[in-house]
Amino acid sequence: MAKIKQSEFEDEEKLLSPTIVINKKYTMIHIPIKNEIEDITPIKERMKKEHIKVCGIAFSNSDNFAICVVIDENRKFVKAKFIKGGKQYQKKTQMILNEIKKHRQKGEKFGEKNHKKYWEKLNHISDYYSHKVSKEIVDFCKENEVEVISITDMNEDINKNFTKSVGRYSPIYLRRRIVKYLEYKAFKSSIIITRIRKNYTASKCYICRGNIKRKNLEFECENGHKGDYFFNSAMNIAIMCLKKFGK
């Protein structure tokens, strides 16, 4: 029988009394966890602080799952982090998709045992990377004393159209699941997530607000500023968060 120790959980998490759940096929043990949140100040009140740091996050379809940029209340750049693993994720999922294709060619349907186990593997891989990326984002924000994370708001229609164009098992496909896990991980660390409109976050230069042209992963604006395309987007997302709350 496996032993569960307090050390396996976060420092702020406390284990409560476990409950045994008996099912027809298996028996599970449920262990409730108590987690105390240090700061639950609403975002409007939080953004009124004299000193506050915001992290803007841009998601990409490259080897970088996410590009995180921290700025202070004066819109001054503090630090950036490029969270990699996109190519590795794509490679692993493509290997499994190739196996599914082979089974389809043999005439197997989704519900059949051999075919179904590959779909379960795909889900496990996606889950692993979603948790990994969301944890890296939160850890980076905690290291840099970030209190607010800013991301763009993508509605269902935009998501569906975008997914069709980039492929279901591409790095950007995980955006929704990463954000889902990020929300509760950030809240546990007293960090609030806010969403801003996507308008102009990717088409304007964060330095001068000039129009930009993208070339692969780089950009150049009409006034000559150059740099990483997704870094520019992340900066715009962070800056627009400050503007949204009057800073």
The pTM assigned to this predicted structure is 0.81
Give the domains, in start order, of the chain with CATH numbers. 6-244 (3.30.420.140)
How would you class 92 by CB atoms within 10 Å of its CB: exposed for 0-12, middle for 13-18, buried for 19 or more? middle
Mean pLDDT of 187-203: 91
Per-residue pLDDT band at 154 (split at 50, 70, 90): confident
How would you class 229 by CB atoms within 10 Å of its CB: exposed for 0-12, middle for 13-18, buried for 19 or more? buried
Q: Over the stretch 46-98, which tens digit does the pLDDT of each residue have? A: 888 888 999 999 999 999 999 999 999 999 999 999 999 999 999 999 999 88
At residue 202, what is the residue type? A
What is the tally of helices (H) and strands (E) in the chain?
Answer: 6, 12
Cβ neighbours for 32, distance < 8 A, ≥ 6 positions apart: 15, 16, 17, 18, 19
- 3 state DSSP class of 234: helix
Pairing between strand 212-215 and 33-35? Answer: unpaired
Q: Cβ atoms within 10 A of the Cβ of 176, count?
A: 14
- Chain centre to alpha carbon of residue 221: 27
Q: Over the stretch 206-231, which tens digit does the pLDDT of each residue have? A: 999 999 999 999 999 999 999 999 99
The answer to whether 179 and 195 are in contact (CB under 8 A) is no
Q: Where are the alpha helices (DSSP H) in 106-211?
A: 113-143, 156-166, 175-188
Q: Cβ atoms within 10 A of the Cβ of 161, count?
A: 10
pLDDT above 60 for 2: no
Backbone φ and ψ of 63, nearest 5°:
-70, -20
**Angle, nearest 10°, between helix axes 175-188 and 113-143?**
50
